[in-house]
Amino acid sequence: MPRERHVPPPFEPEELDRSLDRYLTAGLVFMVVLIAGFIVYAVREPDLRSTAKNEQQTSYTKIGKQLFADNCATCHQAGGQGKIGFFPNLADDDWL
């Protein structure tokens, strides 16, 4: 009749296994949140770029109009038609 083998106690305590499981679960949750964040960013990015481009274009147009009004309109008129003589027409096909 065979004898029963002696089973040694576990190498690591049970509470250490539970602690490790918590860290693994927290890591998996963090990875899921991170991946979801990248997906949301990838979906929203084209919209953000077009919005920023439109805002920049509007801002530059406003600044350019103000610069023209302050520095150029006295000689070239408000629409850029120019005056007689020395000041050319900036609204013709050569300049546009």
| DSSP states along the chain | -PPPPPPPPPSS-HHHHHHHHHHHHHHHHHHHHHHHHHHHHHHHHHHHHHHHHHHHHHHHHHHHHHHHHHHTHHHH-TTS---STTS--TTSTTT-
Q: How far apart are CA 34 and CA 51, in angstroms?
A: 25
pLDDT, position 84: 63
Residue 72 corresponds to which tokens in the numbers above? 């150029």
**Average pLDDT per consecutive 10 residues, the chain (96 residues; last block may be shorter):** 76 77 94 96 89 95 91 79 71 70
pLDDT, position 37: 95
pLDDT, position 9: 74
